[in-house]
Chain A
Amino acid sequence: MLEVRNLQVYYGVIQALKDVSFTVNEGEVIALIGANGAGKTTILRTITGLISAKAGEVLYEGVNLQKIAPHKIVSLGIAHVPEGRHVFAQLTVYENLLMGAFTRKDKSEIEETLQSVYKRFPRLMERKNQLAGTLSGGEQQMLAMGRALMSRPKIMLMDEPSMGLSPILVGEIFDIIKSISESGTTVLLVEQNAKKALSIADRAYVLETGRIVLADDAKKLMNNESVKKAYLGE
């Protein structure tokens, strides 16, 4: 479904991604794990066109995404939940969700998706008229995910969804990611919380300073000695 080939990305003279290649198949949950600054966020931002690559390709259902204007990528079925939520603080929860459906036209279908998002996140329903800037961190994360779901994505890219949340909320967020995946959406997950990420992923890639150093089934990686030592704190 999504194939990244030999991606090279630079910030000025600093190379952030070195020859990164990986694939995501339909229906999978893929985790990209690695330390701060390994290049995980850069990969997601390059896929959705917020950063342009110096070399390499991002193929989505056979289309080279780098040839497509960034604002047109969401309508192909790719939703990106950015690191740090980035909800629109001055818009209400409801208006944020409508922004998620910006490229969709059919009002009754949008309403249907809205109800399904409210069903998945009852907290958003309760707070639909509240400004997003006044929500707690966990609620903002739910809003960012709900907003992404409003575009009815085939694949969701999620960047550090657990960042800054309490352990209880982290568990809640991961349950939601699991249920999103079970309802048929492919998930590409970037996480520093490797343990949690590997527990719900099918396969995972380990990044170190812009390079993929390991790729395997999530279960195998969980038992890999070097992964255990470096990322699982065992």
Chain B
Amino acid sequence: MPNIKLEMKVIYLAIILLFSVFLVLPMLALFYRSFQTTKGLELSNYINVLANGELLTAFMNSIKVSGLTAVISTVLAFMIAYALHCTNIQHQYKSIIKVGILIPMLLPTITYGFAIMYSFGNQGLITQLLGQPLFNIYGFNGLLLGYTIYTLPAAFLIINNSFMYIDKRFMVVSKLMLDGTWRSFFHTILRPLTGAIGGAFVLSFILSFTDYGIPASIGGTYSVVSTQLYQVMLGSIPNFSHGAVIAILMLIPALFGVFLLQYLERFNFHYDKITEIEMVEHKGRDISFALFASIVLIGMLSVFLVMFIAPFLTSFPYNLTFTWNHLINVFQSNDLIGVYKNSLIVALFTTIFGILIAYSSAIINARTKIKGKGAFDIVSMITNTLPGMVLGLSYLLLFNNSSLKGTFIIIIVCNIVHYYTTPYLMAKNSLSKMNPSWETTGGLLGDSWFKTIYRVILPNSWGTVIEMFSYYFINAMVTISGIIFLVSAQTSLVSSKIKELQHFAKFNDIFVLSLLIFFTNLLIKLFCDYLQKRRSLKNI
């Protein structure tokens, strides 16, 4: 590693300053506010909130529905990952499953709720096809379905990723040692995946527990923590101190979850080598898993089907004649096109500056000897814990009287901090794997530190930068929980606009806006995949 240079120190201090102002201070403000009363600092806010049965009910509701969601998502994700790694299902079909299951990630969660209503509601598409409503969608059932669709892709990514790093030769060893099916399954699959399965469970739980979009659209009278928080902050009688208390309470399960994740880390296996083997032929197994994966995938995607149909019909489900009118209306409405443009601006700037900050801090951490570089690991742990709503709320409390209020800047910064963990870890992983003497070599050949980074480090981590790009962009496009407290009339985004349109029952506009987000994200995703592919072809 190169010696410490002035430019490294400057970058280090700049990023530390940024996180001090936009992460540490807001959190302190939040804590302070939760204890603040007219009589000074005391516990009465907590006592008042906890004495209120409504919040306690909401809290228990949240735990119940999130817990069940986490179980279902984890089991489904595991079975689908198993289908991809331990069967001889056709290669092309496996690719379809792998891509298809991630599709919900391209949409804001608030859209899920409306898609569920239009599919399973009394007049819904799927209800019409089946002849009768399957279940009452408002409240518990709708939340469970929505959360499951929301968390399944994330749970799948974790388990699928760990599956890739399982040494499949152990299945051969186990078979040669005459293991029965269950003993073999335990020692070669379940035990090596324990960490990942636990991780998927915890993540699904936290995501559901802290999501705002789904309960906002389909929660009905079934109250959960996030809707309580919204009501207390932006309802008819706002109470910031109580909001701060609820935010702190919301933080607790998330905090607990992150510690659990750290603990589960221990169960992860480190194989010396990863080998693929041919799976034993077993038609019955292949067919049943293919069938299972198809049912999950079709079930999940069919919920969104209505989104692609309803806006092109005059008045779904009553007047089913085809029309472009809804689409044209949206494009003629300055208001709606305006929020779409806002979303694009926010996503673009979030992505550019987010990559800059995450990548720079990863370089400082992975490739310099600066004292205190571990601070970024701590930052990434904190941002991993923080639900978007809590972060947004703390910004509202701290910056309410500043000139940042109601600007794009505060939304962009909030997104960058909110989604910092994953891009930072992506960059750190890839940078720490590179040969540690490149900077020294570059220096000996006459390059400055910046020049080596530009000429050597960056070109060798383009793949990671592209991944960071699509992660930041797509998340900035779909987030609602992070920004719901920060948008103003001028800086309204698509996801918050959808929330507003709900009050006027303008479902066609909601779906057209959702489609806009969907296709924008799809385009970005395909573009990033294309760049990755071109890169890997070039390298061969």
Q: Do A and B bind each other?
A: no
B interface residues, Cβ below 8 angstroms from A: none
